[in-house]
Amino acid sequence: MIITLTTDIGWEYAAEMKGKILSINPNAKIVDITHEIMPQNIRQGAFVLYSIVPYFKKAIHIGVVDPGVGTERKAIIIECRNAYFVGPDNGLFIPAAKKLGIKKIYEIKVSRKASPVFHGRDVFAPVAAKLSTGIKAKELGKEIKKYVELDFGKATVEKGRIKGKVLFIDRFGNIITNITKENLEAKEFHVKMGVVEKKIKLYPSYGYAKKGEILAVIGSSGFLEIARREGNAAKYFDAKEDMKIEMFF
């Protein structure tokens, strides 16, 4: 059984989780998604999980972006068709789990022996390892109905203007927005973020633009991205997470 790890804790702390998992289930197949989510950036973690889940046929996904660790925030298992999510109840899994369809949610009882600063190792890793051996979620937690929500927001279209926001900036400086293909009426538009306005084109991929050109593409997860060919679009627009973005034709 595949166990994936999506965390902001860095490789060396994640290794302690891997040791725990393999001690309980030596046959677990661990897949590192990333350990370099920006510290405590729950939404970026949620976006990564949302993006990757369709490509795993069957897996247990552990997520550790967990600023509330050791406080009263709950530890949960979300059961979906062919997938479990194990981690904090802070919204991290919600977009991904909704994409797959949430079946049930369980609250994990946290042992008093667990390090209050590292539930990833002492709570989530052992629970995921046990799930991977075939133990049922209901034996590892009690069902709950409420959970912390998180969504990426929906872009709106009004009088020919699309209004959305910046979800996050990736390592190339591409600006990932919450605008989807369906919102777009044309292949050429004005985009406005903060004080910067620019007329750009929507291309099938980066390579169609000239060197240095600002462009738009539909990213591999279906959201509109603003990029700069061989450059950094986020710098050009001075874009930050959550910044409003307006587009008009």
| Buried-state track 213-244, b at ≥16 Cβ within 10 A, e below 16 | bbbbbbbeeebbbbbbbebebbebbebebebe
Instruction: Tell me how far, at minimum, the Cβ of 231 lies from a second copy, in Å.
Output: 10
Instruction: Tell me how far, at minimum, the Cβ of 212 lies from a second copy, in Å.
Output: 13
Under 8 Å between Cβ of 127 and 139:
no
* Cβ distance to a second copy smaller for residue 91 or 192: 91
* Cβ distance to a second copy smaller for residue 208 or 249: 208
Under 8 Å between Cβ of 6 and 56:
no
SS3 content of the chain, % helix, strand, coil (to 5): 25, 35, 40
* Cβ distance to a second copy smaller for residue 99 or 161: 99
* Cβ distance to a second copy smaller for residue 34 or 183: 34
Residues in Cβ contact with 157 at an 8 Å cutoff, skipping those fewer than 6 apart: 163, 183
Neighbours of 163 (CB within 10 A): 17
* Cβ distance to a second copy smaller for residue 6 or 132: 6
- Beta pairing partners, 64: 7
φ/ψ of 165, rounded to 5, equals -150, 165
**List of residues contacting a second copy (CB under 8 A):** 2, 4, 6, 10-13, 15-20, 22-23, 26, 29-36, 39-40, 48, 51-52, 54-57, 59, 67-71, 73, 115-118, 121, 170-172, 204-208, 217-220, 230
Instruction: Tell me how far, at minimum, the Cβ of 35 lies from a second copy, in Å.
Output: 8
Instruction: Tell me how far, at minimum, the Cβ of 202 lies from a second copy, in Å.
Output: 12
Instruction: Tell me how far, at minimum, the Cβ of 129 lies from a second copy, in Å.
Output: 12
